[in-house]
Structure 1
Amino acid sequence: MVGHIPFGWLPMDPAAASAATGNLPAPFSAAAANGHVYYYLDPALYASAVPLARQPAVPTAAEVARRRQEEEDAGIHLVHLLVTCAGAIQAGDYSAADDNLTQARSFLAAITSSTGIGRVAKHFVDALAQRLVPAHPQAAPPPATPAELHIHFYDAGPYLKFAYSTANQAILDSFEGCDRVHVVDLALMQGLQWPALIHALSQRHGGPPYLRITGIGGAGDEIGEVGVRLEQFARSLDVPFTFREVRVDQLDGLRHWMLGVVPGEALAFNSVLQLHRLLVDPDVDPAVPAPIDTLLHLVTSLQPMVFTVVEQEADHNRPALVERFTNALFHYSAMFDSMVAASHRTGGGSTTSALAEACLRAEILDVVCGEGSARAERHEPVGRWRERLARAGLAQLPFGADEVRRATAQLIRATLFSATGYGVLECAGSLALAWHDRPLYAATAWRATGGDERDKGRRRNSRNGSGESNGRGNRATA
């Protein structure tokens, strides 16, 4: 019946129904079909007989404030329990650590997991659980390949964009006036840094130089495929280009002959988030050169015009678990807060956010659970890197006010993160990407000590066409 709502009740004889409930209400009607009787209820009667579903009450300002205060209190207790748990593990009191972890989980349940401490604390709870029980399920493999995680982390915020654009600018400045240039990338990954550099070189007054890129990676990296894509991109912009592929298990395994350095070319080394992986505990056998010292010796021996370095601005290389745990908790809280803001600003997809978060989660697990040679994420502040690189025979090329303005403009224009808490800071010649004035990543540029005269000579040799050549290179220098 049009305008009525059928109910699939079992048929009941109207007389029996009347005897049981009184007279059949007028708004009900009955129809017979195929020997079955169906009853219909007028919508108006149904609407008046059934109360409206109760709508959730809109919380008052006082209730919102109360809930926020409760979450803040729970967050304070949670942080205390997490640090106490780390201290108990460091002291070898695993029973107390387990009790602390159980309490931490109960406080975590009372905190909204989408923002603030709740979002990052889950990963630290899992890390402590894995530290207590190494076979804990949290040790499951990552949800994607390293290449996929890298791309999603690039898309999730300004972190790698800042690193790449700042390093590229230092390389461009150092290559000014050179017709043959060579970049050695210590971690090629997906090559996301280099299209912007190639494009900038294609716009150079007087024509682009002959560009060589040596991409370094591990056994499972798609170095060759990335090289093909870069070569196609360079060809589309008429930039003379060649690519060299180098595979090593660890960067201290690099040797001079692997890089194919040509005398007279302008050379740059580039390291984005790689050097900290070469650090070791201070009690390692001093007779064996540390991996970082081996690599820096190679770099300085090749006398590059510039060595660009970007690292996490954090202090996670302390031998004591409690100290590095506390430092990591505050660093990654800022990282997660900034990532949430970036996602809201750009409308980033849930997949991108989840996989970018997986990158940070892997770092957290390594910082908390790794000891000795098993720990790779040994982040150190820029001041310590400055001392180490200076000891190796490198002199800093300071960034100035112009670079700060340029980096800030690029940050706003390219990533739309203005007025959201991000900023660029300058400190002692380094640039840092900051979240509410807390540095997250720091960029520095270096060259071999006493490199001024050598650089002038290289510019002269480059303009005169010294070194290895091919058809495209000759065309670029003509």
Structure 2
Amino acid sequence: MDTYVTEFSDSMGGFKLDFESNPLLATQKSSDHSTSTSDSFSGNNLSNPAYPVSSSEDSDFSDAALRYIQGILMEEDLEDRSSSVQDCLALQATEKSFYDLLSPMPDNQPSKSSIGTISKAHVPPTGNFDSNQISDPGEQNLQSLHAQFKPQFNFLNGSAESPVSTLLFSDSPTDYQFFGQSIIALDLGKKNHDREFGVDEVDGRSKKQTAIYSDEQDNTEFWDKVLLCDGRNGPCTLSEAVQQKAVIDEQLKVSSAGKGAGKKKGAKKEVVDLRSLLTSCAQAITTNDFRTANELLKQIRQHSSPSGDASQRVAYYLADGLEARLAGIGTQLYTMLVTKKTSDANILKAYYLYISACPFNRMSDYYANRFIGKVSSDTPKLHIIDFGIGFGYQWPCFIQHLSSRPGGPPMLQITGIDLPRPGFRPAERVEKTGKRLANYCRRFKVLFEFIPIAQKFENVQLEDLGIEKDEFVVVNCTYGLKNTLDDTLILDSPRDTVLKLIKKINPKFFVHGVVNGAYNAPFFVTRFREALFHFSAFLDMLDCNIPRDNQDRMWLEEELCGKEVMNIVACEGSDRIERPETCKQWQARNLRAGFEQLPLDQELLGSVRSKVKTYYHKDFTVEEDGQWMLQEWKGRTLFALSCWKPA
């Protein structure tokens, strides 16, 4: 849910969503453009009626990420850009269509009769894939599954090779400059070697050109209005939903205390054990008892709703997955979910609300940033390699913190690794992230270099990372590795390949954040039961922090839960990409890969606990176990983070 988190991170878990960064989080004086950080990172921006706010709060725990997202949302072309998830599948659909044309099926060979088979998918020249262009002979049979499927923002594996280029920032008049060549590997009948960025929009011919970005391309007037704190800005807009929920809860407490001991008479509400119904339905599907499964699904549908309480909502999404598995069309429906067009703006709005309601990603970023800054306090050059950088939400506060270092900030280099986008600009999003980070470094006068890499994690090579001698190298990977395949399908699993690469990098330390999930079991009923427990806790967390009728919350739950549940419940084999492991499993895997676990910094851990207690719901807790920082909701560990170094 990073992927969220991914990807929101990529990714919770891809809702890695993620996730803070922009040059616009600084305050400039109108006379000399010098930066000021006292207001930009004060606790006033996190004011909430239910939770007290300290005016002397650390700069890292501010609304910097929220303000940064507001700036991104106002970019002119954001609504027109679809998510990288749908783009990756669109690219795969394009390749499949060409493969089908080049390898026609013999006339005497029977065709597949599975419902929802993609027969002829037309992909427009823009590279956007429309799910309505899928030929679906069984479309009428799918109407009962879902009235409307929406795409998710977890990350999938893409198939285009990426450009590896460098974004260098300095004080020279040329603001940002990309260097290097881009290799586009799309199998369209001929290979294009050493093609640089840029394609002639008229006739498609490649042109060698250097992409130069400047501040004028962004809506700096709006950014200055929203992001530069002048003491008059109030709480961020989208976090008002969390504040509203806190006010409602307080009013309910007061009204409940004012009522007498008498009981209100009324119609008795039917009580249904949805967990038992869901588990029984999963068992019936496993034993091919389709009649019983259908009867149980009817009962579940009668008592589930996407706008009800937490148990009704989780039953609604799990019933979708069970129905798709029962019909044998899980992969087709999951493909429809991730290929249906959505805008980056909607993704960011959902993530904006998510980090306002829960501390998981913000506290992971806070601990990682502070630990990196503390250990690298004396280095003249710091190189951070970020697996799953996404929009770069993590780094604005870190850059501001570097700017206040005694003796001046170090030279900062970030190598951002993200999934490729289709077409001739596979690294477009990660390049935009680098540009925003460079703008932020300009505001805070931090010398900055950025290397964008748009590839699957396991395909990245050591020479792509731009590592130089005598630099302090840190690897950061939070919540992204859950979407790589594991040992159950491939003997030499991609996640082990990534760990081996990190070992070759030989960083000073490696920050590893994981979604603590046990719903990766090969046996369906076990996996289903664990998914039920995990997503019940997650939706209960949202139910306690955001009003039920909030439309952004409903969209967020469809994004975070709808797609993941569909993939976990209805897909098998390599089609099932949601494969989280518990922190104990990752601990054993990291040790096998040759890493040594570092003890948690007790001062930082205490600071994280204090912030969670001050700013968030009382049922959020932070614990320590086996040198992992565990983030829990009502005692259930949902996320974990630890630091490692090569042994």
1:404 counterpart (596, 599, 605): 605
- Quote the residue 1:446 is aligned against: 644
Measured against aligned partners, the alpha-carbon deviations of 1:367-399 in whole angstroms (never above 9, x if no partner) come to 112211111111111111101001101111121
Distance 1:378 1:154 in 2: 25
1:116 aligns with 2:310: yes
Segment drifting more, 95-104 vs 177-186: 95-104
Unaligned stretches of 5+ residues in structure 2: 1-258, 422-427
* Equivalent residue, structure 2, for 1:324: 527
Counterpart of 2:458 in structure 1 is 252
Instruction: For 1:35-434, list aligned pairs within 5 A.
Output: 62-63=263-264, 70=269, 73-74=271-272, 76=273, 78-108=274-304, 113-135=307-329, 139=334, 140-141=336-337, 144-145=342-343, 148-149=346-347, 152-156=350-354, 157=357, 158-220=359-421, 222-248=429-455, 250-282=456-488, 284=489, 286=491, 289-344=492-547, 350-351=551-552, 353-412=554-613, 416-419=615-618, 421-434=619-632
Equivalent position of 1:469 in the other structure: none
Larger Rg: 1
After superposition, the Cα gap between the structure-2 partners of 1:329 and 1:64, relative to the gap in structure 1 and judged at 3 Å, is farther
SS of residue matched to 1:442: strand
RMSD across aligned positions (CA): 2.7
In 2, distance between residues paired with 1:97 and 1:61? 42
CA deviations on 1:195-238 (whole Å, 9 max, x unpaired) are: 01111111222211110011111222611111111000011001
Q: Are residues 311 and 65 of structure 1, via their aligned partners in 2, closer, same or farther at CA, if it must alter by over 3 Å? A: farther
Counterpart Cα distance in 2 of 1:361 and 1:162: 25
1:205 alignment partner, SS class: coil
Distance in 2 between the 1:60 and 1:435 partners?
31
Whether the 8 Å CA contact 1:174–1:306 is kept in 2: the answer is no
Displacement of 1:104: 1.7
Tell me the equivalent position of 1:27. none
How far off its partner does 1:273 sit?
1.2
* Mapped partners of 2:560, 2:341: distance in 1: 10
Q: CA deviation at 1:133?
A: 2.2
1:64 and 1:196 map into 2 onto residues whose CA distance is 54
SS in 2 for 1:176: coil
Cα gap change, 1:231 to 1:333, in 2 (>3 Å)? same
Separation in 1 of the partners of 2:265 and 2:574?
Answer: 48
Deviates more, 1:403-412 or 1:184-193: 403-412
What CA distance in whole angstroms lies between the structure 2 residues aligned with 1:365 and 1:359? 11
C-alpha distance in structure 2 between counterparts of 1:254 and 1:61, whole Å: 67
Distance 2:510 2:523 in 1: 32
Change (3 A) 1:285 1:236: closer
Q: 1:348 to 1:159 in 2, by over 3 A?
A: farther
Aligned length: 376
Change (3 A) 1:126 1:218: same
Gaps of 5+ in 1: 1-57, 450-478
Task: Name the aligned partner's letter for residue 116 of structure 1.
Answer: A
Q: Which has the higher helix share?
A: 1
Per-residue deviation at 1:360? 2.4
Shift of 1:261: 0.7
Q: CA deviation at 1:436?
A: 1.4
Normalising by structure 1, report the TM-score.
0.73
Q: 1:349 to 1:243 in 2, by over 3 A?
A: farther
Counterpart code for 2:316:
K
Mapped contact 2:307–2:554 kept (Cα < 8 A): no
Post-superposition offset of 1:155: 2.9
- SS of residue in 2 equivalent to 1:189: coil
The Cα shift of 1:187 comes to 0.7
Instruction: Give the equivalent residue in structure 1 for 2:64.
Output: none
Partner SS, residue 101 of structure 1: helix
Taking the aligned partners of 1:64 and 1:307, their CA distance within structure 2 comes to 60
Q: State, as a whole percentage, how many aligned pairs show the same letter.
A: 28
Counterpart of 1:447, as a letter, is K
CA contact (8 A) 1:174 1:305 kept: no
Q: What is the TM-score normalised by the length of structure 2?
A: 0.54
The 2-side partners of 1:264 and 1:65 are apart by 74
Q: Distance in 1 between matches of 2:290 and 2:630?
A: 39
> Who is 2:137 aligned against?
none
- Relative to structure 1, is the Cα distance of residues 390 and 146 closer, same or farther in structure 2, using a 3 angstrom cutoff? farther
Structure with greater contact order relative to length (CA < 8 Å, sep ≥ 6): 2
Measured after TM superposition, the shift of residue 146 of structure 1 is 6.3
> Contact 1:153–1:352 (CA<8 Å) still a contact in 2?
no
Instruction: Report the 3-state secondary structure (helix = DSSP H, G, I; strand = E; otherwise coil) of the residue aligned with 2:304.
Output: helix
